Amino acid sequence: MEFFNFHTHHFKNQANVLELVNQYPQEFDASIPFYSIGIHPWYIKEDQIDAELKIIEEKLQSNNCLAIGECGLDKRIEIPLEQQLIVFEKQLALAEKYQKPVVIHCVAAFQEMIALKKRMKISVPMIVHGFSKNGQIAAQLIKEGFYISFGKYLLRNPDLKTVFQTIPKDRFFLETDTIEESIEQVYELASQYKGLTIKELQKIVSDNFNAVFGKSNEN
């Protein structure tokens, strides 16, 4: 693995990229080598929650399932936050049971997410994907033990440069999410912002991968 794409919805099957592909329980694709699986807060359907949690629990027992998610909280949608919290909490419990990291979608609900992590005493790594907020929120997340993944907004918003530069090297990942740009392009910009060579950045992300996923990435 030369590059690790922490979160993508587009499986590109490149030999030099390990992709953590986002999967949904009802649309599972067994041909994808490595994936995360979870109930996204946008797609919570009350009559399907139990069935989807059962699928997630089954897949979490596979070595190809590297993480649970994306899951989390979003205050800008119509689904009640209370219901989102219940579904998120159930997925966090599964993450603890099977000792899998969590890919988190969080919009305008960082305090609730932090409180839930503390209340449940979550021990597995929790990674906030697609970060787009300010340095104050980033610093609080780091202080509370979260990892942060950057991608789309790093490319789109120059103001994120100073935020990204403050993130400790052992606490970040890089991703493409839904954008068409390649993970190599994200690495290129990230290396410029951090003042690193691509090889140095690859080593940092590789070390973070091993720390979070507990796997060798020599494949």
Domains of the chain are 3-213 (3.20.20.140)
Tell me which DSSP letter residue 216 carries. -
Measured at the alpha carbon of residue 192, what is the angle toward residues 4 and 150, in degrees to the nearest 5?
45
**Claim: this prediction has a pTM higher than 0.85:** yes
Contacts of residue 41, defined as CB under 8 A and 6 or more positions apart, other chains included, come to 71, 72, 73, 74, 77, 79, 84, 87, 88, 105
Question: Is pLDDT of 216 > 60?
Answer: no
C-alpha to C-alpha distance for 211 and 59, rounded to whole angstroms: 22
DSSP string, 178-206: T-SS-HHHHHHHHHHHHT--HHHHHHHHH
Q: Give the model confidence (pLDDT) of 26-45 as tens digits.
A: 999 999 999 999 999 999 99
| CA dihedral over 137, 115, 143, 194, signed as positive or negative | negative
Q: What is the pLDDT of residues 41-67, one digit of tens each?
A: 999 999 999 999 999 999 999 999 999
Q: What percent of the chain has pLDDT over 90?
A: 97
Q: Which residue has the tokens 């990291």?
A: 101
Mean per-residue pLDDT of the chain: 96
CA distance 33 to 14: 11
Query: pLDDT for 131-150, tens place per residue?
Result: 999 999 999 999 999 999 99
Provide mean pLDDT across the span 174-188: 97
